[in-house]
Structure 1
Amino acid sequence: MKKIIVVYCHPYVNSFNHAILEQVINNLKQQHLNPEIIDLYAEQFNPVYDQEELQLFHSGQTHDPLVTKYLNLLRQADGIIFITPIWWNSIPAMLKGFIDKVMKEGEGLTHTVTKTGIRGELVNLKRAYVLTTSTSPTFYLRWFCGNAVQKIFIKTTLKQLGIKSGKWQNFGGISNAKSAKRNAYLQKIAEMPFHF
Structure 2
Amino acid sequence: MRIAIVFNHPYKGSYCSAILDSVKSGLEKGGHEIDIMHLDNDGFNPVMTADDLLAFRNKKAIDPQASEYVQRIKTADHLVLIFPIWWELMPALMKGFIDKVIFPGELYDYTKSGLGMVSLMDNIKSTTIITTMNTPSIMYKLIFGDAIKKALITGTFKKTGCKNVKWLSLNMVKASSKAKREKWLKQIENRFATV
Give TM-score scaled by structure 1 length: 0.90
**Partners of 1:161 and 1:32 in 2: how far apart?**
30
Deviates more, 1:9-18 or 1:30-39: 30-39
Q: Which residue of structure 2 aligns with residue 108 of structure 1?
A: 105
1:49 and 2:48 aligned: yes
Deviation at 1:168, TM superposition (A): 1.0
**Partners of 2:65 and 2:5 in 1: how far apart?**
15
Q: Considering only aligned residues, what root-mean-square deviation do their CA atoms show, in Å?
A: 1.8
Q: Which residue of structure 2 aligns with residue 186 of structure 1?
A: 185
- Structure 2 counterpart of 1:165, one-letter code: N
Q: State whether residues 127 and 195 of structure 1, in contact with CA within 8 Å, keep that contact through their aligned partners in structure 2.
A: no
Indicate how the Cα distance of structure 1 residues 58 and 171 shifts in structure 2: closer, same or farther if over 3 A, else same.
closer
1:168 and 2:178 aligned: no
Equivalent pairs counted in the alignment come to 193
1:139 and 2:117 aligned: no
Indicate how the Cα distance of structure 1 residues 99 and 194 shifts in structure 2: closer, same or farther if over 3 A, else same.
farther
Give TM-score scaled by structure 2 length: 0.91
**Partners of 1:154 and 1:31 in 2: how far apart?**
26
**Partners of 1:99 and 1:179 in 2: how far apart?**
32
Percentage of identical aligned residues: 32
1:106-125 C-alpha deviation (Å, 9 max, x unpaired): x2221112322222211221
- Determine which structure has greater relative contact order: mean sequence separation of CA pairs < 8 Å that are 6+ residues apart, divided by chain length: 2
What residue ranges of structure 1 are gaps of 5+ in the alignment? none
Matches within 5 A, 1:35-184: 35-104=34-103, 107-114=104-111, 115=113, 116-184=115-183
- Structure 1 counterpart of 2:109, one-letter code: T
Q: Which residue of structure 2 aligns with residue 10 of structure 1?
A: 9
The alignment partner of 2:35 has SS state of strand
- Structure 2 counterpart of 1:108, one-letter code: G
What residue ranges of structure 2 are gaps of 5+ in the alignment? none
Deviates more, 1:143-152 or 1:122-131: 143-152
